[in-house]
Amino acid sequence: MYYQMITPITGFSKLKKEEKIDWLLKTYLQDSENSEKVLKQYWNENDAVQQLHEEFTENTLSNFYLPFGIAPNFLINGKLMAIPMTTEESSVIAAASKAAKFWQTRGGFKVEVQNTIKNGQVHFIYNGDHEKLNQFFKASKSAFFDAVSSITKNMRKRGGGVLEIELLDKTDLVDDYFQLHCTFETKDSMGANFINSCLEKFADTLKEEAAKFQDFNVEEKQVEVIMSILSNFVPECLVKVEVSCPVSELYDDNHISHDAFADNFLTAIKIAEVEPYRAVTHNKGIMNGIDAVVLATGNDFRAVEAGIHAYACKDGSYSSLTHASVENGIFKFWMEIPLALGTVGGLTNLHPLVKVALEILQKPSARELMEIVAVVGLAQNFAAVKSLVTNGIQQGHMKMHLMNILNSQNATPGEKEELLHYFKKHTVTHSSVAEQLERIRN
């Protein structure tokens, strides 16, 4: 590969968009004419919308589009819903839709938010007398709540705010390490900015109160705050979702009995519960559905991913998030996960498609959105495991992936039509598609 010597650039962020693109074309992109065309063809023709997108982040050159689709027929707590999903992966929306249709005639999804507590910490170093630190915290605790009264005023009007502040001794983990562990209720807001603002004020208050606490000596007054930040691990912000039906209604295929299918399904879940190699892929399938709804509704899918995967390790090893059982002829499939979501603030008020997504969902509260997201995750996993223990996952996935293969081979509309018909009865692989394209073209 050809590399040229690159001179570092200063003041890049201050350049206009066109100037940034010109520099990029001259410095890194050899096929500059085509690259410039690609960058600019994704600009929104509406200047106001384009400006809005450019202000979401820094050094914006263009927009990166992902498909915005819909999965209908979700019966959630007796309410029929269509779910907006944003994803580039083939078969995700199809699988969710298929699972939704299946359970819609079997009582639908039952889901309940168990709690909405979020948390954050002020991490600090203190190398003095531990008992004196405990006394200091008891004497000063009210000062922390008072210090954020102006920040929490509006949140408290909505029923939220700071719930509790605890002093935790973590010196068994790191020398002289303590933390203020703080819990919050942020109602319909995801609450990241609110929580971090409170935590930074707590950090300032910690230093100020320590400096004037009479029982501390000069050295003990020098409390060293390391950082103040929310946690994306929210094990108390939980939602539980489940489906159930008689085993006799679970599967209808001449090649396998209802009982055999249920046994295979339960075994597949048990494997994911005990085998981390399988559990990671198993849970990734759940996140296919969760991330797609989280992204479509303008929430932080990276935070959701981090928190859920941490929760999958809560018992000491990485394990399946979903579980299944059969008792007295009834199949039950369920999942409990932490979700910190919002329906106000951030992109929910700014991104035009996010507004449409929330409108489709009938303008849900944060708790309702937690329920919807969890439902889609369970549906996605049911569809995946059902495929794995019957026909295998590639049969359905590769048929959905066929159009991507055809596009990568520059197939014409006529060629696509013919091969879509052909592969209704044949196995889809990259090589088989290439062979059939060559046959048509020759």
Residue 266 to residue 375: CA distance in whole angstroms: 19
Which residue is catalytic, options 118, 201, 397, 399? 397
31 is a catalytic site residue: no
Residue 154 to residue 135: CA distance in whole angstroms: 32
Which residue is catalytic, options 209, 242, 300, 368? 300
Task: Give me the DSSP letters along 72-99.
Answer: EEEEETTEEEEEEEE--STTHHHHHHHH
Residue 340 to residue 342: CA distance in whole angstroms: 7
Tell me the three state secondary structure of residue 340. coil
Average the pLDDT over 102-130 and give the result. 97
Q: For position 392, what pLDDT does the model report?
A: 63
Structure tokens at 128: 């003095």
Residue 165 to residue 295: CA distance in whole angstroms: 32
185 is a catalytic site residue: no
pTM assigned to the model? 0.88
Residue 313 to residue 298: CA distance in whole angstroms: 27
Q: For position 203, what pLDDT does the model report?
A: 98
The answer to whether the 75-113+238-390 and 118-230 domains have the same CATH topology is no
Tell me the three state secondary structure of residue 303. helix
Q: For position 4, what pLDDT does the model report?
A: 65
Check pLDDT > 50 for residue 1.
no
Tell me the three state secondary structure of residue 442. coil
Check pLDDT > 50 for residue 312.
yes
b/e code 377-390 from CB counts within 10 Å (16+ = b): bbbbbbbbbbbbbb
Residue 140 to residue 202: CA distance in whole angstroms: 11
8-state DSSP, 248: G
Average the pLDDT over 147-164 and give the result. 96
Q: For position 427, what pLDDT does the model report?
A: 75
Which residue is catalytic, options 22, 36, 54, 89? 89
Q: For position 395, what pLDDT does the model report?
A: 56
Residue type, 265: F
Residue type, 380: Q
Percent of the chain with pLDDT over 90: 80
Residue 191 to residue 161: CA distance in whole angstroms: 10
89 is a catalytic site residue: yes
Residue 237 to residue 115: CA distance in whole angstroms: 5
Q: For position 194, what pLDDT does the model report?
A: 96
Q: For position 393, what pLDDT does the model report?
A: 56
Residue 151 to residue 105: CA distance in whole angstroms: 48
Going by pLDDT thresholds of 50, 70 and 90, the confidence category of residue 32 is confident
Predicted confidence (pLDDT) per residue in 384-418, tens digit = 999 999 876 555 555 566 777 887 888 888 878 77
Average the pLDDT over 109-117 and give the result. 97
Residue 197 to residue 148: CA distance in whole angstroms: 9
Question: How many C-beta atoms surround the C-beta of residue 192 within 10 A?
Answer: 20
Going by pLDDT thresholds of 50, 70 and 90, the confidence category of residue 290 is very high
8-state DSSP, 204: H
Residue 329 to residue 59: CA distance in whole angstroms: 59
Q: 120: buried, middle or exposed (CB in 10 Å: 19+, 13-18, 0-12)?
A: buried
Residue 421 to residue 436: CA distance in whole angstroms: 12
Look at domain 75-113+238-390 and name its CATH class: alpha beta
Closest CA to 342 of 302, 376, 369, 309: 369
Domain ranges in the chain?
1-65, 75-113+238-390, 118-230, 397-441
Which residue is catalytic, options 132, 181, 240, 284? 284
Lowest-confidence region among 178-187, 363-372, 394-403, 414-423: 394-403
Residue 315 to residue 322: CA distance in whole angstroms: 14
Look at domain 118-230 and name its CATH class: alpha beta
Q: Cβ contacts of residue 172 below 8 Å, gap of 6+?
A: none
284 is a catalytic site residue: yes
Token pair 């979903």 is found at 322
Q: What's the mean pLDDT when you consider all of the chain?
A: 92
Q: 342: buried, middle or exposed (CB in 10 Å: 19+, 13-18, 0-12)?
A: buried
Average the pLDDT over 122-126 and give the result. 98
Residue 437 to residue 440: CA distance in whole angstroms: 5
